[in-house]
Amino acid sequence: MLKLKSKILPLLIVFSLAAFIASLPLALAQEAGSISDVIDNLDDVAGKAKITQITDAGGGQDVYEIYGKLINLFLGFIGTIFLLITIYAGFTWMMAKGNEAEVERAAKLIENSAIGIFIIIGSYFLINYVVFKLIEIFSKPIA
């Protein structure tokens, strides 16, 4: 009888907690008006944050937008290379047939590609931080 109580009590607690959480309101978001109201609010916030687009009279792209597209293209290319190296290394590992040298080579490829992708991601965050700090510094009016 004691063993049965020790199993039922935790289940009862879990189900009670689940029922309590399920009874909580899931969202208390304010009802949005039209989509144009939302876009206007986002434009206001972007203006206050000083991240609005500066375009020329011809409607050209912002310099930051061009750099952002180039960085995204580069990161997509690097991600594709990482994926291909990882797939190749996995295939090499599967086809090693117990050959320790091939398994070690494949494991080293996976390790090196993982290190490489972490270096790329880290450098992206570092560059992103530096660029935004420079934009913040140079966008301040000279007093």
pLDDT tens figures, 52-79:
655 444 455 667 777 778 887 888 888 8
Q: How large is the average pLDDT for residues 16-24?
A: 62
Two structure tokens written together for 59? 């409607």
Contact of 79 with 117, CB cutoff 8 Å: yes
Indicate the pTM of the whole model.
0.49
Amino acid at 65: E
For 59, counting Cβ atoms within 10 Å of its Cβ (0-12 exposed, 13-18 middle, 19+ buried), the class is exposed
38 or 58: whose pLDDT is higher? Answer: 38
Q: Is residue 88 predicted with pLDDT exceeding 90?
A: yes
Q: How large is the average pLDDT for residues 42-56?
A: 64
Q: Is residue 45 predicted with pLDDT exceeding 90?
A: no
Choose the weakest-confidence range: 22-31, 41-50, 125-134.
Answer: 22-31
What average pLDDT is seen over the chain? 74
Q: Is residue 112 predicted with pLDDT exceeding 80?
A: yes
Q: What angle do CA 46, 48, 51 make, to 5 degrees?
A: 40
pLDDT of residue 131: 77
61 or 134: whose pLDDT is higher? Answer: 134
pLDDT of residue 91: 92
What b-and-e string marks burial along 77-101, b requiring 16 or more CB atoms within 10 Å of the CB?
ebeeeeeebeeebeebbeebeeeee
Two structure tokens written together for 123? 């450098």
Residue 33 to residue 41: CA distance in whole angstroms? 11
pLDDT of residue 27: 46
Q: Is residue 33 predicted with pLDDT exceeding 80?
A: no
